[in-house]
Structure 1
Amino acid sequence: MYLDMMFVLAVTALLLSRAAAQQVYVLTQGPSPRPQCAACRPPATPTYRFSSFSFTQTETYRYATSIAPPATTKTYAAPFAVLKTLLPTSLATTTWGSWSPNDTAATDTADPYGQAAWSSLWAWASPPNFTTTGIYSTTVSPTAVPSSELVLPPADYFGPTDCYTFPADFIFGVAGSSAQIEGAVAMEGKGPNLMDVFARPGIADNYVTNENYFLYKQDIERLAAMGVRYYSFSIAWSRILPFALPGTPVNSAGIAHYDDLINYTLAKGMIPTVTMLHFDTPLQFYAANVTDRFKDVLIGYVNGAYQNATFEDAFVNYARILLAHYSDRVPVWFTFNEPLLYSDNGASINSVVKAHARVAHYYKDVVRGTGKIGVKLNDNFGVPRDPRNDSDVAAANHFNDFQLATFWNPLVLGEDYPDAFKMTIPDYVPLSAGDLSYMRGTCDFVAVDPYTATVVSQPPGGIADCVINASSPYFPYCVVQETNNTFGWNIGYRSYSYVYITPTYLRTYLNYLWNTFRAPVFITEFGFPVFGEADKASVADMVFDTPRSLYYLSFMTEVLRAIWEDGVAVMGALAWSFADNWEFGDYRARFGMQVVERETQTRYFKKSFFDLVAFVRDRHPNYEAA
């Protein structure tokens, strides 16, 4: 008994000496506690009796509540009529047509930005197995969602038992990205980007995807009918600037498309948030060798060409065009999506952090925007395999620092890159004191896509040996990543390859982010692909996605607990994704809360969509006006 007590005291001291909310294994005995039973203890012996029987069970039902059209529209900057004076007077706006490999050659060859030059971009890109076999070729007029589609499914027997509410300003919405939903890749003047040539043997293409480019009004109509408040999407750089670089013409069709998308979102009572670059780098930054996109990279998984010497200035130019046109109606901006994953080397990181800081200053100091701006990062939160083992804790800190502090040290705290990055990437570009002063506070929040968690420990030979050996199988994170705990159990229910339901780790993660970077936390993507969903025999089976509901409701419950029990400022949560889409080479990974029937482009609401929206609405004190 004495030894057991000493063990508990030792664990308690250890907890107090380390970061709050750390995952620690503490042995317990006896039945699981049931605090909800304290006020209703039944008698020790039941009383049995007969009664007359009849089928009198009552089942309640309700409909999803649509977002109401707004009475007024809030603005966050001056309108384009005013902000256009900030753009170069020489900036031209033009139109182009569409492209296919069988097109007759255009004759305006003397124009460096004419139809012939634009078509030659696509000929050079040579997208593999190119097709334009979509159903639509113009914007589809929306139709109201029938009430028969909006009846909530039967509630699960076991559900959340919390009594918390979200803060009145908590942001809740859904997200998607241009390359994954739009299709129409070589239509109405859009230039080629990395995602348009991503297809290769065995990899599905994104030429059609969900045809959201033509169906965006219907998609927005369906989101509003479900009661979604925020719609987060990305803009395709190559649809705005087909030739990518400063001084090249703006595509008027692209500007008009996103302008109408934003206006329709607002008209349906929702609020838009925008990502400027979601992996779809224009191909011009690959210079003469477009196959560089497949070369081995030092840091990420794909070469996003951020290291190109012209990238930083070009991105800032593109961002200024977006801000001039749309910042009056968009309250939240994300410059980059998960840039670490598409960074080649140290120069890539340098381009991203400096480009972001310049755009943020332009938005705040020149545009005078009153909204918020940041960069959204990836990180399947690293937790130590054994939190009582100092080397495992060091591995977890190293893993998270490399992915998060590399960006948020300079952009949030005004501090230098972490040692985890500097010791691993020998060609990193040092930041001066002036750089850090300029960058500090240019992220209004820390935005992260926390799909799951990863159990980490030291690699063979330790971190120090790994970081100097780029051929190590553990490089560049230089930790062992696992999905099971010290007792051999997976840390959660597994779905598609790497995603596990890990709600308790989410709360730990939120504590880590808030207490490390001291800025509001924004969950900008979180989602769950049900295992084997693509193999289900019918739509009826696909839409009954209880594991996804468990994922969303458990995660949102932990968000509430982090807010109220830990004092963590969680700004909002955007669910990924509002519909099944192209997951960067795969249509079988179903992250969506709607089924998309590819042959007809028909959408069907899944159970999880109803469950998630109802969970938030039932706990949001001011949902309609949030």
Structure 2
Amino acid sequence: MARLYGFGQLLLASLVAAQQVFLAAEGPTTRPQCRGTKTREPKYSFTPFSFTLTDTVRYATSVPAPTATTTYAAPSEALITLLPSSLSYTTWSKWDPNATAKATDTDNPFGSAAWTALWEHANPPNFTEKALYSTTVSPTPIPSTELVLPPRDYFGPTDCYNFPEDFEFGVASSASQVEGATAEEGKSPSLMDILVQDDRPKAYVTNEFYYYYKQDIERVAAMGVKYFSFSIAWTRILPFALPGTPVNQQGIDHYNDMINFILEKGMVPVATLLHFDTPLQFYGSNLTKAADRPEIGYVNGAYQNETFPDAFVNYAKIVMTHYADRVPIWFTFNEPLLYSTNAKSIDHVIKSHARVFHFYKEELKGTGKISMKFNDNFGVPRDPNSEADVYAANHFNSLQLGPFCDPIFLGKDYPDSFKQTFPDFVPLSKEDLAYIGHTGDFLGIDPYTATVVCPPVPGVQESILDCARNSTSTYRPYCVNQTMVNVYGWDIGYKSFSYVYITPTYLRSYLNYLYNTWRVPVAITEFGFPVFSEAEMALSDQLFDTPRSQYYLSYMSEVLKAIWEDGVEVIAAFAWSGNDNWEFSSYDAHFGIQTVNRTTQQRNYKKSFFDLVDFMKARGVE
């Protein structure tokens, strides 16, 4: 029998067992909200008929205009001295693979010819941009006819809770999934442009958010949503990526204008520094390396490159110096596990994050919050009464989150599960842990679904460690059997697009696990749901997306229970995503709470957007 990972793991095992996700019940579902039922016979009578019961018109309420300005650091002009005095700013143009004229400044290592060479090296196949826009679109007010709430669903939440006064509710997006303008105004290639050579179609236009951002922000503000989460494209700020290379003035100006417009509409900007789009330079001359199968994640994000940490910190310093006075919430990395190639990748991520945290808090004197966004399809034991299955769940979760969260939030060494699986890990010294420890103001999590786990050999804990020692095991790196079926053979929730489930009760257990393990506030930084085959539906059917409404409202109901019944400090929830977007392989997985017509770029609000905002407003969220 294999030993558990110490007292902490024993405590987690008891926690998971205590919060059983399979609750025994006999008979029909109880109705605790009903104090009594009517048992007498009804009385029937005739009354005048009208259609008054069939329709009720309500409207969304937009975010009010700001009446005061809040800053979170000194203005950019005062912070510029924190950057190297040799830093230069320049602009570039647009790459057109069919252009006949060639750049002549071949003697400039960072000129137009060198910038063009980056795109020629990336060589994205079938590069065409059938875009509507080539400059920023001026916003127009949203007509009230678009803001009429849809018919209510018959069944809905029955809770009586409100969210805490300072709860942060918003929508989220990422640069590569919505911006478009792929090779315009100085942007250079990133991993997102390299992956297309791995049979992954690239949408070069996406949502044209780069030029259409004011209208998109206007639409979100009109719905009454206060927080707007986005990512900044590294390759727009530093086309040549590395320290000492010129800053793209157009990129700086673009995000400046976008942040200012978010504030102008009464909303709060939330910025992510790296959302999967690693610059081309970290893959060197052989771009096929980007398709190498990682030991840990799903994609080679090049974090293991020896030049990556210094380059990322340099990029972060430039961005924060320009925007930290107006942006109160920062994320350094988005879901770094998924793009970590090996143990060195994780070492680089947590140390780079810590350096950025210390720069922001100590040198820049920022008063906002900073953290990281993590992925983890919460592992739940197939049978909560099985010691082996509980052990497997703890192993699975600690291996996904522990390598980042233990050092960052607890100042604690890597978990045993990580060391056993990756013996080539980079050891953390006491000095490392003191520097990395407590460099997250809260824990950001993207909890889309849950995963049912048990050992590779059912009931045998030792089979997990046997797998960890065997580098060729088919169960690596997590060394558990992963399914979506519980011990009785039922799917754990409604299945959509092969991998996403409505699993609200597991979310509540998950929030308990996160808060009680790493003991910091928890922010739900992404959560969303693609309705099955929505891409094949008529527009009217796409808009009436009841399954997505059920997903959002059930999730937020469980968040309220976690806050009020379990004492878990949940501080935020950002819906993924504000619009249907490019999901790294196609547009078929529609996560958006607005539709996007790819030809006209017309947006339409979906029912779920209204339902989610109505739910939050009814429970005290501004």
In structure 1, the residue matched to 2:235 is: 238
**1:511 pairs with 2:502:** no
Could you give the per-residue CA deviations for residues 159-206 of structure 1, whole angstroms, max 9, x where no partner exists? 111110000110000000000000111000011100122224753213
Note closer, same or farther for the CA distance 1:24–1:453 as it changes in structure 2 (3 Å cut).
closer
**1:94 pairs with 2:94:** no
Find 1:54's aligned residue among 33, 49, 52: 49
Please report how far the alpha carbon of residue 15 of structure 1 lies from its aligned counterpart in structure 2 after TM superposition. 12
Q: Distance in 1 between matches of 2:350 and 2:14?
A: 33
In structure 2, the residue matched to 1:448 is: 445
In structure 1, the residue matched to 2:387 is: 390
Q: What SS class does the counterpart of residue 198 from structure 1 fall into?
A: helix
* Alignment map for 1:221-232 (pairs within 5 Å): 221-232=218-229
**1:467 pairs with 2:463:** no
Q: What SS class does the counterpart of residue 46 from structure 1 fall into?
A: coil
Q: Is residue 198–residue 291 contact of structure 2 (8 Å, CA) maintained in 1?
A: no
Q: Distance in 2 between matches of 1:340 and 1:17?
A: 27
Please report how far the alpha carbon of residue 49 of structure 1 lies from its aligned counterpart in structure 2 after TM superposition. 2.3
In structure 2, the residue matched to 1:351 is: 348
Q: Distance in 2 between matches of 1:268 and 1:259?
A: 14
Q: Distance in 1 between matches of 2:528 and 2:328?
A: 23
In structure 2, the residue matched to 1:576 is: 576
Q: Amino acid of the residue matched to residue 601 of structure 2?
A: Q
Q: Amino acid of the residue matched to residue 308 of structure 1?
A: N
Q: Amino acid of the residue matched to residue 550 of structure 2?
A: L
In structure 1, the residue matched to 2:4 is: none
Could you give the per-residue CA deviations for residues 28-56 of structure 1, whole angstroms, max 9, x where no partner exists? 22222111221x4313x413423234125
Q: Distance in 2 between matches of 1:402 and 1:202?
A: 30
In structure 2, the residue matched to 1:8 is: none
**1:439 pairs with 2:436:** yes
Q: Is residue 383–residue 454 contact of structure 1 (8 Å, CA) maintained in 2?
A: yes
Q: Distance in 2 between matches of 1:204 and 1:620?
A: 43
Note closer, same or farther for the CA distance 1:305–1:202 as it changes in structure 2 (3 Å cut).
closer
In structure 2, the residue matched to 1:9 is: none
**1:121 pairs with 2:118:** yes
Q: Distance in 2 between matches of 1:19 and 1:483?
A: 18
Please report how far the alpha carbon of residue 613 of structure 1 lies from its aligned counterpart in structure 2 after TM superposition. 0.7
Q: Distance in 2 between matches of 1:168 and 1:66?
A: 19
Q: Distance in 2 between matches of 1:176 and 1:21?
A: 36
Q: Is residue 179–residue 206 contact of structure 1 (8 Å, CA) maintained in 2?
A: no
Find 2:291's aligned residue among 291, 294, 298: 294
Q: Distance in 1 between matches of 2:151 and 2:426?
A: 56
Q: Aligned residues, how many?
A: 606
Could you give the per-residue CA deviations for residues 42-87 of structure 1, whole angstroms, max 9, x where no partner exists? 13x4134232341253332211101011011210000101000100
Q: Is residue 17–residue 385 contact of structure 2 (8 Å, CA) maintained in 1?
A: no
Please report how far the alpha carbon of residue 427 of structure 1 lies from its aligned counterpart in structure 2 after TM superposition. 1.7
Q: Amino acid of the residue matched to residue 313 of structure 1?
A: D
Please report how far the alpha carbon of residue 452 of structure 1 lies from its aligned counterpart in structure 2 after TM superposition. 0.5
Note closer, same or farther for the CA distance 1:21–1:153 as it changes in structure 2 (3 Å cut).
farther
Please report how far the alpha carbon of residue 27 of structure 1 lies from its aligned counterpart in structure 2 after TM superposition. 3.1
Q: What SS class does the counterpart of residue 575 from structure 1 fall into?
A: strand
Q: Amino acid of the residue matched to residue 72 of structure 2?
A: Y
Note closer, same or farther for the CA distance 1:75–1:21 as it changes in structure 2 (3 Å cut).
farther
* Alignment map for 1:331-342 (pairs within 5 Å): 331-342=328-339
Please report how far the alpha carbon of residue 25 of structure 1 lies from its aligned counterpart in structure 2 after TM superposition. 3.2
Q: Distance in 2 between matches of 1:56 and 1:218?
A: 37
Note closer, same or farther for the CA distance 1:501–1:421 as it changes in structure 2 (3 Å cut).
same
Note closer, same or farther for the CA distance 1:126–1:568 as it changes in structure 2 (3 Å cut).
same
Deviates more, 1:212-221 or 1:192-201: 192-201
In structure 2, the residue matched to 1:217 is: 214
How many percent identity over aligned positions? 62
In structure 1, the residue matched to 2:33 is: 36
Q: What SS class does the counterpart of residue 118 from structure 2 fall into?
A: helix
**1:175 pairs with 2:172:** yes
Q: What SS class does the counterpart of residue 412 from structure 2 fall into?
A: coil
In structure 2, the residue matched to 1:4 is: none
Q: Distance in 1 between matches of 2:49 and 2:438?
A: 66
Q: Is residue 16–residue 390 contact of structure 2 (8 Å, CA) maintained in 1?
A: no
What TM-score comes out, normalization by structure 2 length?
0.96
Q: Distance in 2 between matches of 1:575 and 1:367?
A: 30
Q: What SS class does the counterpart of residue 170 from structure 2 fall into?
A: strand
Note closer, same or farther for the CA distance 1:33–1:316 as it changes in structure 2 (3 Å cut).
same
Q: Is residue 194–residue 287 contact of structure 2 (8 Å, CA) maintained in 1?
A: no
Note closer, same or farther for the CA distance 1:503–1:126 as it changes in structure 2 (3 Å cut).
same
In structure 2, the residue matched to 1:67 is: 63
Q: Distance in 1 between matches of 2:511 and 2:266?
A: 30
Q: Distance in 2 between matches of 1:139 and 1:24?
A: 49
Q: Is residue 457–residue 480 contact of structure 1 (8 Å, CA) maintained in 2?
A: yes
Q: Amino acid of the residue matched to residue 430 of structure 1?
A: P
Please report how far the alpha carbon of residue 334 of structure 1 lies from its aligned counterpart in structure 2 after TM superposition. 0.2
Please report how far the alpha carbon of residue 585 of structure 1 lies from its aligned counterpart in structure 2 after TM superposition. 1.2
Please report how far the alpha carbon of residue 373 of structure 1 lies from its aligned counterpart in structure 2 after TM superposition. 0.4
Find 1:145's aligned residue among 142, 146, 152: 142
Q: Is residue 24–residue 386 contact of structure 1 (8 Å, CA) maintained in 2?
A: no
Could you give the per-residue CA deviations for residues 370-410 of structure 1, whole angstroms, max 9, x where no partner exists? 00000111001000000111110111001100111110100
Q: What SS class does the counterpart of residue 276 from structure 1 fall into?
A: strand
Q: Distance in 1 between matches of 2:23 and 2:555?
A: 23
In structure 1, the residue matched to 2:482 is: 481
Find 1:375's aligned residue among 347, 372, 395: 372
* Alignment map for 1:238-317 (pairs within 5 Å): 238-317=235-314
Q: Amino acid of the residue matched to residue 333 of structure 1?
A: W
Q: Is residue 23–residue 505 contact of structure 1 (8 Å, CA) maintained in 2?
A: no
In structure 1, the residue matched to 2:418 is: 421
Q: Is residue 416–residue 436 contact of structure 1 (8 Å, CA) maintained in 2?
A: yes
Q: Distance in 1 between matches of 2:283 and 2:85?
A: 29
Could you give the per-residue CA deviations for residues 308-363 of structure 1, whole angstroms, max 9, x where no partner exists? 00000000000000110000000000000000000111110011000000000000
Q: Amino acid of the residue matched to residue 320 of structure 1?
A: K
Q: Distance in 1 between matches of 2:325 and 2:24?
A: 55
Please report how far the alpha carbon of residue 152 of structure 1 lies from its aligned counterpart in structure 2 after TM superposition. 0.3
Deviates more, 1:221-230 or 1:197-206: 197-206
Note closer, same or farther for the CA distance 1:26–1:608 as it changes in structure 2 (3 Å cut).
closer
Unpaired runs of 5+ residues, structure 2, are: 1-10
Q: Is residue 128–residue 197 contact of structure 1 (8 Å, CA) maintained in 2?
A: no
Q: Distance in 2 between matches of 1:576 and 1:20?
A: 31
Q: Distance in 1 between matches of 2:200 and 2:142?
A: 34
Please report how far the alpha carbon of residue 18 of structure 1 lies from its aligned counterpart in structure 2 after TM superposition. 3.6
Q: Distance in 2 between matches of 1:472 and 1:17?
A: 29
Q: What SS class does the counterpart of residue 572 from structure 2 fall into?
A: strand
Q: What SS class does the counterpart of residue 55 from structure 1 fall into?
A: coil
Q: Is residue 194–residue 290 contact of structure 2 (8 Å, CA) maintained in 1?
A: no
Note closer, same or farther for the CA distance 1:569–1:133 as it changes in structure 2 (3 Å cut).
same
Deviates more, 1:114-123 or 1:128-137: 128-137
What TM-score comes out, normalization by structure 1 length?
0.95
Q: Is residue 24–residue 388 contact of structure 1 (8 Å, CA) maintained in 2?
A: no
Q: Is residue 198–residue 585 contact of structure 1 (8 Å, CA) maintained in 2?
A: no
In structure 2, the residue matched to 1:78 is: 74
